[in-house]
Structure 1
Amino acid sequence: MPELRIGYVLSEYPKVSHTFIRREIEALEGAGIPVERFAIRGSNEDLPDPADQAEAGRTRQVLASGLPAMLAAMLSVLVQAPRRAWRAFALATRMGWRGDRPIPVHWIYLLEAALIAKWVRESAVTHLHAHFGSNPAEVAMLAAELSGIGFSFTAHGTVETDNALAIKLPEKVRRAAFVVAVSQYGRAQMMRWIPFDDWRKIHVIHCGIGADFLEHEHTDAPDVDQFVSVGRLSSEKGHLVLIEALALLIEQGQSCRLVLVGDGPLRSAVEQRSRELGIERFVTITGWQSSEAIREWLMGSRALILPSFAEGLPVVIMESLALGRPVIATWVAGVPELVREGCTGWLVPPGNALPLAKAMGTCLRASSVQLAMFAKAGKNAVREAHDAKIEAEKLAQLLVSRNEVLIAEPAALRPTSQ
């Protein structure tokens, strides 16, 4: 049997907010499965984490290779396997028909896929796996069609289900060898949009964290009035509601500080709203930080707060609970699968500053005994379901079984060279 070699197809990689992908790749490689990294583009953000900097050197970027390289790769497929090239062209056109973007954009995806297909052949990749069911999954699907191998993808939540029909999610699932959902909620949301016969393809494999968090020495939650929120400063993350909640607490005479770790398009709005409410001195925005720095911010805070309007299942929740810090979060998507009211943290309705402020006050008044109970429950929950090594082993089993099935198929059923 040919050696299993996986090609990861990613839209933007490495990226600060995609540390979980790096951990997954590292865990697969630790299990003996070689992985090639194919990114449409590199990150336009600073990469403070040395591990991400190292990943940048291991990742081949499509757009950085230039249009001539993509055209040459497409021409090569047209010459060597014309029927396969025309099938991929027809598929790209169908994906654009009444799709999320105009048809010519999907032809560009085809050119990107042609270059990845060239790299697949050169690297002897046997299967492609994409993260996110939007354009990365389409590029992987087209590259698989051009190269004659299988593909799969991980769906993370709102990216796939907010616009499922426009991104042709049912077609992607139909053609995929299997699909990964990062939460039970995410799996159920995909089931809404695809035929019953394809439900069996969806497997829940959680995002995971590594030993740097799971095996970190335990310390009790500090007796401080500081909260931390980690993530991209964008509209769906609810930071403006968090600023309103902080203002309510301070207005009630509660001493409280908030650290926002991250950056993004909402930063200026958050800063402006903080000034309008007169609480700017209580708010710190750090910008993007390394994994080590994020760990230190979590360790030095009373709790993590995620006031999101929409989510999948954020990895930072796992990191916080692994370090023994409770979480205050909104009851959206897969979040309640890990944040359990009165057990590992507090859940509040999204978009409402008053209950969020109340939960923050409750957390500040919580006894050391209660916080210790939360810490124990949180650590156990993360170890059971979000160990990156264990979750990657589940993915490896799916990849290996897919490889075995492909080799075992009768020759007449295998993909042809065209």
Structure 2
Amino acid sequence: MKIAYLMNTYPLPSTTFIRREIEAIEARGHGIRRFAVRAWPQTLVDPRDTSERRLTHYILSGNLRGLLLAPVREIAVNPRGLLRALKPWFTLSRKARDGFVRPVAYLLEAIYFRQRAAAEQIDHVHVHFATNAATVAMLARLMGGPRYSFTVHGPDEFVRPERLGFDEKIAHAQFAVAISQYCRARLSSLGRPEDDRKIKVARCGLALEDFAAVRARSPDTATLVCVGRLCSAKGQVLIPAAVAGLRDRFPDLKVVLVGDGENREEIAAACRLHGVADRVVFHGWASNAQVRDLIASSRALLLPSFAEGLPIVIMEAFALARPVISTRVAGIPELLDDTCGWLIQPGDAADLARAIEEVLLATPAQLEAKGAVGRARVMRLHDRRTLARTLCQLFGATAANPVEARGHAS
């Protein structure tokens, strides 16, 4: 089989898990062709992401001429396929309520991708996230392009699920992957009953070998690390108040924010308001190796999110034998409990402060015990080799029993 991966924006700092997944499948002997709709416009900080960008073929970025010529070729060589895709395209466009330009862009991207996949003899394409890249893969399939599947993560995909056309995308897909049981339940409620068998659970995986040489250190540190995009969903804006309430009792308390994003100034303003600008440190984006080092040197990982799927960074902290403070949302309780960390209510500043206090009062032995439970759990559930084996089995099964590309729409 010739397999392709199709993403919206790739690579970027938050898609390390996709790169790890691709590498693990390639380690099983499958070559993977990378496609993305667009390139990330900012500077990549991890050298492996820089290398990955060179391997990625971009459908939209720097390819305006190719996109405009694609429909002319399609009308000439595949008019029936193009017609077959138009009704589902219109249905998805109506559901998405994205105006006129975006749906037309998705159609052009799908036409171009079908032609490129045919030229490269791609048999199957896998997509991460059920957004525009999944739309492109579905439309390309309806035109006669490669079979497709997609992985759903949340939480953004579930904010307005009716606009993403989950029922259509699952119906035409070979299978859909949910990263947790919570995610599977949501997908099951959004698809057609007859397609429920297509929804598989395959948990995201780590390159555990990257964590083998890194061990937790500085057990007496009072530094916590929060890793993630600085945005409202991650809840970092609650951290300054919690730190302010604890600083007198714990004068060495510090929280390092690793990442950047649209909420940076709001968080900085909260730091100034509570007088903790010297206690909450803005680190910015970091390479994978730097993130591992920062977590390993911390007392615990802190992730007070309002909305999540199942954060990779929790898996990374556990792989480094560090306990975690996070919230009871989505799939997080499937991995995190009181044996390996602290679960708090999202948006509850008092609960957040209580958990941080308990982390600071815990002995090195107690922290080590929680970290050991987390490490054992992530090694059992989130090894990328297990994920790659599962995906390869699914790819192989779909090659033997392909879903017909139907042109109906609900």
Q: Which amino acid aligns with 2:244?
A: A
Counterpart in the other structure of 2:245 = 248
Counterpart in the other structure of 1:23 = 20
Which of 132, 157, 160 in structure 2 is aligned with 1:160?
157
Counterpart in the other structure of 1:202 = 199
Counterpart in the other structure of 1:344 = 340
Counterpart in the other structure of 1:190 = 187
Q: Deviations over 1:13-60 (max 9, x none)?
A: 001011000000111111111111110111122211111000000001
Q: In structure 1, list runs of 5 or more residues that go unmatched.
A: none
Counterpart in the other structure of 1:5 = 2
Residue 162 of structure 2 aligns to a residue in which SS?
coil
Quote the offset at 1:245 in angstroms: 1.3
Quote the offset at 1:103 in angstroms: 4.2
Q: Deviations over 1:91-119 (max 9, x none)?
A: 21111114241244212101011111122
Which of 58, 62, 80 in structure 1 is aligned with 2:59?
62
Aligned counterparts of 2:188 and 2:6: Cα–Cα separation in 1: 24
Counterpart in the other structure of 1:320 = 317
Quote the offset at 1:390 in angstroms: 1.2
- Contact between 2:221 and 2:299, CA under 8 Å: does it hold in 1? yes
Residue 305 of structure 2 aligns to a residue in which SS?
coil
Quote the offset at 1:194 in angstroms: 1.8
Quote the offset at 1:214 in angstroms: 4.2
- Contact between 1:120 and 1:147, CA under 8 Å: does it hold in 2? no
Counterpart in the other structure of 1:358 = 354
Which of 80, 91, 94 in structure 2 is aligned with 1:83?
80
Aligned counterparts of 1:46 and 1:227: Cα–Cα separation in 2: 26
Matched, 1:285 2:282: yes
Aligned counterparts of 1:213 and 1:361: Cα–Cα separation in 2: 31
Q: Deviations over 1:218-251 (max 9, x none)?
A: 3456211000000000111101112221122125
Q: Which amino acid aligns with 2:200?
A: H
Quote the offset at 1:68 in angstroms: 2.0
Aligned counterparts of 1:87 and 1:252: Cα–Cα separation in 2: 67
| TM-score of the superposed pair, with normalisation by structure 1 | 0.94
- Contact between 2:307 and 2:330, CA under 8 Å: does it hold in 1? yes
Aligned counterparts of 1:270 and 1:185: Cα–Cα separation in 2: 30
- Contact between 1:180 and 1:202, CA under 8 Å: does it hold in 2? yes
Counterpart in the other structure of 2:382 = 386
Distance of aligned partners of 1:249 and 1:100 in 2 relative to their CA distance in 1, 3 Å threshold? farther
Quote the offset at 1:217 in angstroms: 4.3
Identical-residue share of aligned pairs (%): 38
- Contact between 2:138 and 2:148, CA under 8 Å: does it hold in 1? yes
Quote the offset at 1:161 in angstroms: 1.9
| TM-score of the superposed pair, with normalisation by structure 2 | 0.95
Task: Note the aligned Cα RMSD (angstroms).
Answer: 1.7
Quote the offset at 1:307 in angstroms: 0.5
Q: In structure 2, list runs of 5 or more residues that go unmatched.
A: none
Aligned counterparts of 1:151 and 1:228: Cα–Cα separation in 2: 38
Quote the offset at 1:65 in angstroms: 3.5
Residue 281 of structure 1 aligns to a residue in which SS?
coil
Counterpart in the other structure of 2:269 = 272
- Contact between 2:211 and 2:319, CA under 8 Å: does it hold in 1? yes
Distance of aligned partners of 1:253 and 1:405 in 2 relative to their CA distance in 1, 3 Å threshold? closer
Aligned counterparts of 1:248 and 1:148: Cα–Cα separation in 2: 58
- Contact between 1:100 and 1:167, CA under 8 Å: does it hold in 2? no
Q: Which amino acid aligns with 1:242?
A: I
Aligned counterparts of 2:61 and 2:192: Cα–Cα separation in 1: 38
Bigger shift: 77-86 or 142-151?
A: 142-151
Matched, 1:307 2:304: yes
Which of 13, 38, 61 in structure 1 is aligned with 2:35?
38
Quote the offset at 1:148 in angstroms: 3.2
Which of 118, 124, 131 in structure 1 is aligned with 2:128?
131
Q: Which amino acid aligns with 1:69?
A: G
Quote the offset at 1:216 in angstroms: 2.9
